[in-house]
Structure 1
């Protein structure tokens, strides 16, 4: 791929290489499960800060009025069945729209089996959850937190559906926001329009102005440790780029001009609870959808943009710090010596062949962490356009 010399790579070289990896799918399935292929249309959205132009929904065009309504609804606890929880409850702007918890908690207090994912650059994601290859559009994905019953998130159900809508129909401010966003609808306050508006707002959550982005644009410099970390990240020694080498620092991207998008899922050796590759139920990754043994423990590689503020890490939030994440990958997986999850993930038979032991010094780990810190976009974390309007 693109092994970099210690300081010799130019900004253009690095960025071109990132786009190349994105276009090629960053290594396919890598032994971590099959790559589903999806076809996507194109749109006329312009490129953003050097990013490729994103694909947008052909059936849900973006307007300023729809974005404004979606932003209000995103932060609105009255959108939950019991009126206590909003989308923003699990997606905090200052944490790149994660929640800082190992596991998310729903509106009824139910602890979820998985870690809340970030929404930065969600418009570029090819799939939208940890391990469901079918959820590729925000409008479909949003039905899960709103109406899902296992686990309960927003908690909207047959008993309270009408009540929740009436909260907005009876609010003059919301009545005007809905009318402005959907002027052709005689009765614009509907779940379809709620989903369309929030999806439109979420597509505006673009993070593209980190120190690393400024470095690519020759607007900032990286210090020596950050440069060493970048070269490790992009090179064959640490091998991070195999799953995180695109402009969005993941390996499931879609954007205008791609007719097909690869969606690999990876088993990283996090568990091996039965000595046969088992992962704890219900967190068994792609296996939950395919029932294929080879898909056991295969999850989507998340974007590493703003990763310094999105811990805890992994699909179940079971690794607390970036230092521990690097230790985990350097060991080629995780060995748990006691308890119900005891097992040696390093020997998981379904582990991706991209996950092998890596010899990293403590200084190299520090350098990698310092480079990952350059992916934090402070403007994104504080952008008033994304903040609570209430």
Structure 2
């Protein structure tokens, strides 16, 4: 990870790999350069210069991603909230942390996270996966305790648990052959390397784009045209565009560092334009009232398996999601969040509603279903490497 120097010092819990019997780097053959295995039309990902890709780091990161020993009480892994069968989301309204508290934000898919210019739902500053991981791993309850490594003793204990396992001693040595001591900096780099390989781009829609006309049925094609060609006034492609069906992406040839946050009128608490306290999006960082309710546009890839939806998981089904856009916002009749989101004064331009017929809605839903990459959901390269070991799992 890439924390400031002071924080790095507090988390640099040095454990000697040599003392634990790791093989000296001079005895290991040099590893071949990393080669991306990308779907057709996908640009080369942008990787931090201080954490180049390697097969050994990816393999170590895959182990760490599924290992419950990385949480304070050995009950949670990264995969608990990011499950492969659900395109690395978790199927909950919001995840539950180590202490039993519900997170205010829905667990986003990690599919194609390597192309995301910003991470988390509404954080304008977190650009690198290495830095993003500090929240779930080390967070002191802001907003909740997730994996619980909130202080030095807990982090030291977690590293000790990992490096007591001979598989980890060998994996760390292969991934980082130029050092004999390992810290959470190395953990973060390995996890980030694995997550950058979670590339999804072989859905029926992708096959259709590649020339397989039979890949999409009539309803799916009609739905595609609706989302793409302003049919019924739909403006879907303005926010869900390009190969990733998302907002702006980063890659080696991207000329700008761009990110878009949008308010879709999901709330308008008391008619004030507010979203629920503690979950007001970009506003929590900028304190600009115009940023209330603005969140990052997620990818539509694998959308059929990543519900419930929105930043807080408050929309249960894709049918309900479509209703929000058709009506230009959501009306909450009663309760603490009552208000007419259609009239939110901070709602982003162009989201005033889309008068689609019932048949057109079904066509759009059919198209969204065609964005599921079934192979990605079972790809052995991304699965639990040690399912027989109770330390590993979701």
Answer yes or no: same fold by TM over 0.5: yes
Assess, with a 3 A threshold, how the Cα gap between structure 1 residues 53 and 46 changes in structure 2: closer, same or farther: farther
Q: Structure 2: where are the runs of 5+ without partners?
A: 1-33, 387-394
Q: Which residue of 2 aligns with 1:336?
A: 332
Q: How does 1:8-23 map to 2 (within 5 A)?
A: none
1:185 aligns with 2:179: yes
Q: Which residue of 1 aligns with 2:69?
A: 78
Shift of 1:238: 1.5
Unaligned runs of 5+ in 1: 1-42
SS at match of 2:127: coil
Aligned to 1:126: 117
What SS does the aligned partner of 1:263 have?
coil
1:283-322 alignment runs, 5 A limit: 283-322=279-318
Closer, same or farther: CA 88–127 of 1 in aligned 2, 3 Å? same
Partner of 1:264: 260
Of 323, 329, 345, the match for 1:327: 323
CA contact (8 A) 2:264 2:329 kept: yes
Corresponding residue of 1:64: 55
1:34 corresponds in structure 2 to none
Q: Say which is worse superposed, 85-94 or 236-245, in terms of deviation.
A: 236-245
- On the 8 A contact 2:39/2:202 being kept in 1, the answer is no
C-alpha root-mean-square deviation of aligned residues, in Å? 1.3
Whole-Å separation in 1 of the counterparts to 2:240 and 2:116: 13
Other structure's SS at 1:367 match: helix
Structure 2 residue corresponding to 1:141, chosen from 129, 132, 142: 132
Instruction: Give the drift of 1:162.
Output: 1.0
Indicate which of 225, 230, 233 corresponds to 2:224: 230
Partner of 2:41: 50
Matched, 1:167 2:161: yes
Cα distance in structure 1, aligned partners of 2:261 and 2:73? 35
Question: Partners of 1:46 and 1:364 in 2: how far apart?
Answer: 36
CA shift, 1:46, in A, is 7.7
Residue equivalent to 2:344: 348
2:258 alignment partner, SS class:
strand
The separation in 1 between residues aligned to 2:203 and 2:373, in whole angstroms, is 4
- Maintained 8 Å contact 1:47/1:54: no
Q: Is the CA contact (8 Å cut-off) linking 2:283 and 2:292 kept in structure 1?
A: yes
Instruction: Tell me the distance in 2 between the aligned counterparts of 1:274 and 1:135.
Output: 31
Q: Take 1:47 and 1:212, find their aligned partners in 2: how far apart are those partners?
A: 16
TM-score scaled by length of structure 1 = 0.87
Rounded Cα–Cα distance in structure 1 between residues aligned with 2:204 and 2:376: 12
With normalisation by structure 2, the TM-score equals 0.86
Deviations 1:219-270 (A, max 9, x none): 3431110110000010222211010012101113111212312211001000
Cα offset, 1:44, TM superposition: 8.9
> Contact 2:71 / 2:158 at 8 angstroms: preserved in 1?
yes
Residue 22 (structure 1) aligns with: none
Q: Distance in 1 between matches of 2:175 and 2:35?
A: 20
Separation in structure 1 between the aligned mates of residue 248 and residue 332 of structure 2, nearest angstrom: 29
Cα offset, 1:47, TM superposition: 5.5
Give the Cα–Cα distance (whole angstroms) in 2 for the partners of residues 246 and 105 of structure 1.
33
Stretches of 4+ moved more than 6 A in 1? none
Shift of 1:274: 2.2
Q: Paired residue for 1:205? A: 198
Task: Return the index of the structure with the highest Cα Rg.
Answer: 2
Q: Which residue of 2 aligns with 1:157?
A: 150
